Amino acid sequence: MYNYTDTAVDINEKVIEQKDIDKELKQWTGQEPEQILRLSFNGQNRNTDFVKSTKAKDRTSSLLKFMGLKYLDDIVKGSDPKNRKKLKTKYDQFSDEYQNTAADIESIDKLFQSNQWGTIKQYEEKVIFLIAELNSFQDEIIHTEIRHNLPILSDGLKSLIDSLGKIKLLRESLEKQKDVVLDCIAEAVKYRLQKELVQIQEFLNGASLLKETDLKQLQERKNYLDGLQDMYRNSIAHLKGIKQETELNVMILESTGSDSAIGITESEKVQYETYIAMLQKIEMIGSEFSVSGNYDYNEYDIERAFRRSEKYVGFLKDYENDIMMQRQHMTEIEGMFAEQKKLLLQVQDFVNSQNEISNCPVCGGTEFIKAGHKGKDELLALLSTKIADGNLDLKEKNDKLVKREERLAHFKEEVNINIRAKYRSHLESLQSEIKQRKDYILQECDLRIKSNEESSHKCGTWLWAISSQIKWINEFAEKFQFRDIELEEMVKVKENLKSRIEDVLRVRFQTDGINNFERTGEKKHIMPLFRERNLMNRILECINKILQYDIGEENQSILKQYEEKCAKQHQLKDKVTQLKDALDFRQIINENSKSLKTELLKNLVEDNQMINWVYGKINPHPYFREINFKFMNDETSILAAEDNNVYLDNIFSEAQMNILSLSIFMGLILAVKNYNFEQIFLDDPVQSLDDINVVSFIDLVRALIRSKYINKNYIISTHDHNFSKLLKIKLRNYNFVEYSFISYGEEGPRIISNINMIKDRNDLSQ
């Protein structure tokens, strides 16, 4: 078999999915692709679906399906109580179960009332109220050290039974904690008695000390130590000031001279004077430390040495300048000799090039020629002598200049040895002397500061002890506000109280005085312990009220059964309510969907004038020329307008049924306003029609083509050759395309086309 299916692609050869095609069709036409087939294609197998249905109800469904309202028909059928009885059955079932559960709860409640606790609901409310009262102690417990398990939650009978068990455990825990608190209270009482005993003993010790102490003498001793402490502080501050002053005034400066310098420079003289002033300053600073050195200020007079240096440096400078001038003059002479030598050599070359010379080529003289000698030889000898004399004269002058330079270097060395070297030696000695004295002063300051600090610390210790004693005595006297004559009476009272406390400690707590007294631990405070004890008593009282309602193990099953029944009743009630709401909602949906379906059928079918217009154009029956639709009880009947008791689908022939179906199809498709698909496909629409009906159908098509209100393309297929020829004749003045199937080949059907194109429709005739 041949496969004629193909894949759709766009201009970029990208495959187009079916879902994209469906989306485009719906956006373009306003209908789903499946509905386009129903509204645009009228075929032999389905063009009589509306009228050939054996049941009027089926006809209604077919009509709604054709108009794309199948979902509405499904809603009407699905919401019909007759079609869905399971929901009503479930409602009745759960409603009966709900009533039975309520009866069981009532019988259990009557059984529980025999225990004189009222109904279970009253019992539950009372116990929950008491548990809430117990939980109200939560805020008070937070601020104590009571170990607790509050709050206790109870939101049902089952949890209520569990809560009673927890409350029993809580009572046992609180009773144990209460015993611990009572022990702590006893310990706290013991602590307070011991503490008071300690205070009494301190008073007695203070009173005894006050009698034995001379406060005036203590104050004088304190004043003396205060003065001594100030002296140590001032001495330490003074020594630290000396150290700071020494550090600021004594600094070894970097050398300002240069190794290539001759004699003493001005900056070196200033530096030396700075060091002398520094040494004098440090001698003043260290005078109290007996600082002395070996430096002799008169041994090296920097002012006299500087004047000698200036004198020698000036002399050496003049001597050096004279040598430089002679060296420059010699350079000039050497240049003149070089130029003369160059000229003499040129003359010599000229003479050598001559055979004989009769006179001097420079001055023209002949005096140099002796009798009997050749003039050329005499002149060459004379030139050689002149060239040699110039070199010897230069050598002699240069030797004298070298000796003078050697003498200058010797003078510089003598100046450095006698003046500069002596200066550098004294400068280094001066620096060493300054550093040595500075280090000695700093060392002495550190030693004395340490000694003063140690003495100040000892003095401070003594001063603190005496000050504490004076302060204690003053506070003791201020605290008890007594005069000397009253002290004896107060001592007697305290001794009597001490004796009574010791008796209580010995008899009740089996302890001897304050031998085992510990001063640490705020937990010994007694008031928080009393608050905890009182709070636990109140909580235990509330717990005992609650436990009066303890039903015991034998009655717990009744409460559990009651709660289970109540929970089941609540669930059943919700279920019954939901099912009742569902039944009511289904009824509303059914009524609304029926009303909407009736309205749509009336608007689209019953009041559709286009159906009768098409039906009248074809005129299938000589008497019944107009049709009516009747919608009742979800059924659709096709009646004759002339007589509403005549059901056309029962009396029409096959051809008339085809015309009736075609009329309904054409009337509906042409009346749809939101449908933009402009093609109508008619498959063999004249099947079983007589010649008159065929011609009437063609006239109908021509009328639709001419209509300015309808813009549709009609695609008609037929295997009736005569109908085809007649159709072409009747439509010869209209634009159409004829496709004829000739045969089948290997690539599919062979088709030829014939195009009938009319240029101007205003020239068309009937």
Give pLDDT tens digits for 589-602. 888 888 888 887 78
Q: How confident is the model at residue 766 (pLDDT cuts 50, 70, 90)?
A: very low
Name the burial class of residue 539, with classes exposed (0-12), middle (13-18) and buried (19+) by CB atoms within 10 angstroms of its CB.
buried
The predicted pLDDT at position 266 comes to 78
Residue 593 CA to residue 79 CA, distance in Å, equals 9
Distance of CA 379 to the CA centre of its chain: 112
Could you tell me what percent of the chain has a pLDDT over 90? 0
| 760, pLDDT greater than 60 | no
pLDDT tens digit string along 625-647? Answer: 788 877 777 777 787 777 777 77
CA dihedral 379, 385, 390, 393 (to 10 degrees): -150
- Provide the mean pLDDT of the chain: 75
- Stretch 691-716: mean pLDDT, rounded? 84
Q: Which amino acid is it at 110?
A: K
Give the model's confidence band at 765: pLDDT under 50 very low, under 70 low, under 90 confident, else very high: very low
User: What pLDDT does 764 receive?
Assistant: 44
- Say what the pLDDT of residue 756 is: 83
* 672-698 pLDDT per residue, tens: 766 677 788 888 887 777 888 888 888
C-alpha to C-alpha distance for 615 and 613, rounded to whole angstroms: 5
From CA 444, how far away is CA 290, in angstroms rounded? 11
Residue 255, sorted as left (phi over 0), alpha (psi -120 to 50) or beta, turns out to be: beta
User: In this structure, which long-range contacts are made by residues 341-345, counting pairs with CB atoms below 8 Å and at least 24 apart in sequence?
Assistant: 341/387, 341/390, 344/383, 344/386, 344/387, 345/387
Burial class (CB in 10 A: 0-12, 13-18, 19+), 618: buried
Percent of the chain with pLDDT over 70: 75
* Mean pLDDT for the stretch of residues 738-752: 84
**Residues 268-305: tens digit of each pLDDT:** 778 787 888 888 788 787 777 776 666 666 667 777 77
Is it the case that residue 452 has pLDDT exceeding 80? Answer: yes
pLDDT at 176 over 50: yes
Length, in residues, of the chain = 766
Q: Does 736 score more than 80 pLDDT?
A: yes
- How would residue 522 be classed by pLDDT, with cut points 50, 70 and 90? very low
Q: Residue 734 phi/psi, 5° resolution? A: -125, 155
Q: Give the pLDDT confidence score for residue 44 in this predicted structure.
A: 56
3-state secondary structure of 99: helix
Q: What is the pLDDT of residue 601?
A: 78
- Among 34-43, 424-433, 445-454, the range with the most confident prediction by mean pLDDT is 445-454
Question: Where is pLDDT greater, at 156 or 720?
Answer: 720
Tell me the C-alpha distance between 52 and 640, whole Å: 16
Average pLDDT over residues 252-269: 68
Strand partners, 748: 745
Kindly tell me if the per-residue pLDDT of 498 is higher than 80: no
Instruction: Tell me the pLDDT band of 362, cut-offs 50, 70 and 90.
Output: low
Q: DSSP alpha helices (H): ranges in 548-608?
A: 553-601
What is the predicted pLDDT for the residue at 648? 75
For the cut 80, the answer to whether the pLDDT of residue 532 exceeds it is no
Please tell me which of 150-159, 532-541, 657-666, 712-721 the model is most confident about, judged by mean pLDDT: 712-721
Task: State pLDDT tens for residues 369-391.
Answer: 666 666 766 766 776 666 666 56
Q: How many CA atoms lie within 13 A of 141 on its CB side?
A: 17
Instruction: Give the pLDDT score at 33.
Output: 75
DSSP helix/strand/coil, 262: coil
pLDDT tens string 53-102: 557 777 777 777 777 777 777 787 777 777 777 777 887 787 887 787 77
Least confident interval from 292-296, 420-424, 743-747: 292-296
- pLDDT, one tens digit per residue, over 205-217 is 777 766 656 667 7
Q: What does the block give as tokens for 538?
A: 């109140």
Among 288-292, 323-327, 470-474, which stretch is predicted with the lowest mean pLDDT?
288-292
DSSP 647: B
Q: Give pTM, 2 decimals.
A: 0.40
From residue 273, alpha-carbon distances to 95, 278, 302, 586 in Å are 126, 9, 8, 123
Among 27-36, 403-412, 475-484, which is the least confidently predicted range?
475-484
Q: What is the pLDDT of residue 140?
A: 72
Phi and psi torsions of 78, nearest 5° = -65, -30
